[in-house]
Chain A
Amino acid sequence: MGAQPAEDLNGLVVRVDDRLFHGQILYGWAKGWASEVWLANDVVANNQDERSLYEEQMAGVQGGILSIDEAVERYKECGCKVDKCLLIVGSCIDLKRLIDGGAVPGEIHLANLGTGEGKTQIAESVSLSDNDCEIIRDLQDDGFSICLRKLPQSKTKDVVIP
């Protein structure tokens, strides 16, 4: 199916995407690269209607739904040993909670973060608030690799905070 996923893409990839689980994840990542896909989101994990909706959509995909705390527990245990695991969070705030809790992603991808009042657009589908920028800058200072990436075979670009 066209371009192949980058060979150096392994381990735990955390994707920040406010569309949560959607077409790019299903067709691009779950069918194209990942051996596991987890959606870490407190609203989805704790609301039965939302949970059922995503469980139905993720049927047939190895992985499932976690709260942020559950995701922290899971990836504190597994560390960097997991192979080709995609973990989706819906916001930079959730990303910070995940990493502050002790999860250690190999890569962090910013994929879709919609526009809104007071946000600065840094890429086609990524807009960040001042707080988001601060979170990303702190993580970069701590040595985390953060890039813009939509699909496993996409070219990546390092995130540069204005």
Chain B
Amino acid sequence: MTVTGALVVTHGKLGEILVQEVEHLVGRQDRFIAMSTLGLSAGAITESVHRLIGDDPYIVFTDTPGTSPTIRSSAAIGERQAVITGVNIGMLISFVMHRENVEFEELAEKMVRDGRRCVEVKWARNQQKI
């Protein structure tokens, strides 16, 4: 079974930095790459994503729904490929930890759950909630 790869497609340098920071935490990874949409047309984004992921199992992580990384990556994917929006470091760490032992569909669902777990509010210990 081919291990699922990750392509992080974002505005500007965000994806590159996310990949770099995750590797800083968990070490260098294979098939763990980033792509910026800066300066690319709608068609060029789709072509670039397709060129990078081919027909291999891949999750394409994007920053925001409704924007070109998500829209054009969605046009590029096929079987055993998925786009997940709202990428964050926790989601990518979970991906690295689980991609070798969790089936593709379950892995995609898990990324959404684990990404959401990173979103929470913290209050100062001595402060009452308003």
Q: Please tell me if the beta carbons of A19 and B68 are within 8 angstroms of each other in the complex.
A: yes
- Determine if A26 is an interface residue (Cβ-Cβ < 8 Å): yes
Q: Give the residues in chain A near B27, CB-CB below 8 Å.
A: none
Please classify how large the interface on chain A is, using the bins under 10, 10 to 19, 20 to 34, 35 or more.
Answer: 10 to 19
Q: Give the residues in chain B near A114, CB-CB below 8 Å.
A: 39-41, 44
Convert B47-79 into 0s and 1s, putting 1 for each residue whose CB lies closer than 8 angstroms to a CB of A: 000000000000000001111101100110000
Q: Give the residues in chain B near A155, CB-CB below 8 Å.
A: none
- Determine if A54 is an interface residue (Cβ-Cβ < 8 Å): yes
Q: Give the residues in chain B near A125, CB-CB below 8 Å.
A: 39
Q: Give the residues in chain A near B64, CB-CB below 8 Å.
A: 23
Q: Please tell me if the beta carbons of B42 and A18 are within 8 angstroms of each other in the complex.
A: yes
Q: Please tell me if the beta carbons of B66 and A23 are within 8 angstroms of each other in the complex.
A: yes
Minimal Cβ-Cβ distance residue in A for B64:
A23
- Determine if A105 is an interface residue (Cβ-Cβ < 8 Å): no
Q: Please tell me if the beta carbons of A49 and B71 are within 8 angstroms of each other in the complex.
A: no
Q: Please tell me if the beta carbons of B41 and A23 are within 8 angstroms of each other in the complex.
A: no
Q: Please tell me if the beta carbons of B44 and A57 are within 8 angstroms of each other in the complex.
A: no
- Determine if B110 is an interface residue (Cβ-Cβ < 8 Å): no
- Determine if B11 is an interface residue (Cβ-Cβ < 8 Å): yes
- Determine if A53 is an interface residue (Cβ-Cβ < 8 Å): yes
11 contacts between A and B (CB under 8 A): A18-B42, A19-B42, A23-B64, A49-B75, A53-B74, A57-B65, A57-B71, A112-B41, A114-B39, A114-B44, A115-B39
CB distance from B101 to the nearest CB of A (A): 32
